[in-house]
């Protein structure tokens, strides 16, 4: 984790010596310009779930992977919110936030997903039981609108691997759990591209949160000490995001 210089060198080499290769041996003309992720990395395995990275293929793939939208009833949502033990914020600012995030929810077929803002010092967003998205006031203070969209896209991406991730968690399979986090990062980057945001903004907010030592906080729920093992390093995440910011037409 704490090898920024080494990492930067490896990163530069990886992105300057692999011209002409492509992740999935696709022979489209754009592939000559692409960087490539080393095979057998968690990032490469995460992307293998998505297959062809062209926008058209990715759209189709996400459609295939998407679970039927789960609409929790009001009592379930209320129970979840009360269990957080944090004050609920409402009003015009929250309404505006919902409007700001609506393109992300709509993109993933989750336009009706309940969303709550809770007052908390830790900058966090998380998806609970596929039922409700929770965002803290502190996150609203530190993230731009595009950055919030990226974070919420990551949270919604968890739905695509919901069952498998639960199995990995049960089995304490930390490697697979890191793969799922990278998968969600990939979906976040793709979502931002699709809705017209700058996808690198997602990298920026991850970095900012890491600098304030709270990067685990943006992961889906269950923030525990074990997050250090179940979540990839910031370096791995940034590398994947940069790779995906290339065009894949
Ligand atoms: Zn996550």
Q: pLDDT digits over 55-95, tens only?
A: 999 999 999 999 999 999 999 999 999 999 999 999 999 99
Dist. CA 35–CA 37, nearest whole Å: 7
Which portions of the chain are predicted below pLDDT 50? Answer: 1, 7-32, 215-226
183 C-alpha to center of ligand 1: Å? 9
237: tokens are 């995440």
219 C-alpha to center of ligand 1: Å? 4
pLDDT of residue 228: 66
144 C-alpha to center of ligand 1: Å? 19
82 C-alpha to center of ligand 1: Å? 22
pTM: predicted TM-score of the whole model, two decimal places? 0.82
Provide the Cα torsion 154, 110, 220, 244; round to 10°: -10
Dist. CA 209–CA 211, nearest whole Å: 5
Write out the residues surrounding ion ligand 1, Cβ under 5 A: 181, 184, 219-220
Coil/strand/helix, residue 3: coil
pLDDT of residue 163: 94
Dist. CA 107–CA 195, nearest whole Å: 8
185 C-alpha to center of ligand 1: Å? 8
Residue the block writes with tokens 């910031």: 234
pLDDT of residue 5: 52
pLDDT of residue 210: 85
Contact by Cβ (8 Å): 113, 81: no
- In the sheet with 132-136, reading across from the earlier edge strand, the strands are 88-89, 115-118, 132-136, 125-128
| DSSP character string of 123-173 | --EEEETTTEEEEEHHHHHH--HHHHHHHHHHHHHGGGGHHHHHHHHHTT-
Domain boundaries, the chain: 39-68+154-244, 74-148
242 C-alpha to center of ligand 1: Å? 18
158 C-alpha to center of ligand 1: Å? 6
pLDDT of residue 141: 95
pLDDT of residue 221: 37
* Cβ atoms < 10 Å from Cβ of 119: 11
pLDDT of residue 94: 95
């Amino acid at each position: 984790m704490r090898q920024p210089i080494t990492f930067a060198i490896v990163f530069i080499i990886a992105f300057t010596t692999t011209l002409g290769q492509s992740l999935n041996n696709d022979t489209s003309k754009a592939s000559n310009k692409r960087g490539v992720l080393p095979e057998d990395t968690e990032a490469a395995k995460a992307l293998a779930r998505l297959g062809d990275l062209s926008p058209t293929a990715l759209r189709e793939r996400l459609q295939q992977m998407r679970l039927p939208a789960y609409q929790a009833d009001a009592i379930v949502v209320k129970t979840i919110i009360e269990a957080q033990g944090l004050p609920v914020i409402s009003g015009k600012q929250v309404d505006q936030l919902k409007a700001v995030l609506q393109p992300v929810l709509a993109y993933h077929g989750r336009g009706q997903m309940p969303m709550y803002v809770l007052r908390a010092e830790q900058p966090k967003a998380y998806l609970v039981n596929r039922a409700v998205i929770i965002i803290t006031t502190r996150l609203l203070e530190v993230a731009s609108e595009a950055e919030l969209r990226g974070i919420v896209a990551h949270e919604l991406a968890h739905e695509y691997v919901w069952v498998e991730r639960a199995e990995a968690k049960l089995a304490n399979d930390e490697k697979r759990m890191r793969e799922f986090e990278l998968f969600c990062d990939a979906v976040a980057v793709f979502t931002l591209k699709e809705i017209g945001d700058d996808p690198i903004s997602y990298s920026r907010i991850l970095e900012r949160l890491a600098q304030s030592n709270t990067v685990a906080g943006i992961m889906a729920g269950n923030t525990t000490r074990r997050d250090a093992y179940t979540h990839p390093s910031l370096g791995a995440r940034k590398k994947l995001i940069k790779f995906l910011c290339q065009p894949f037409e």
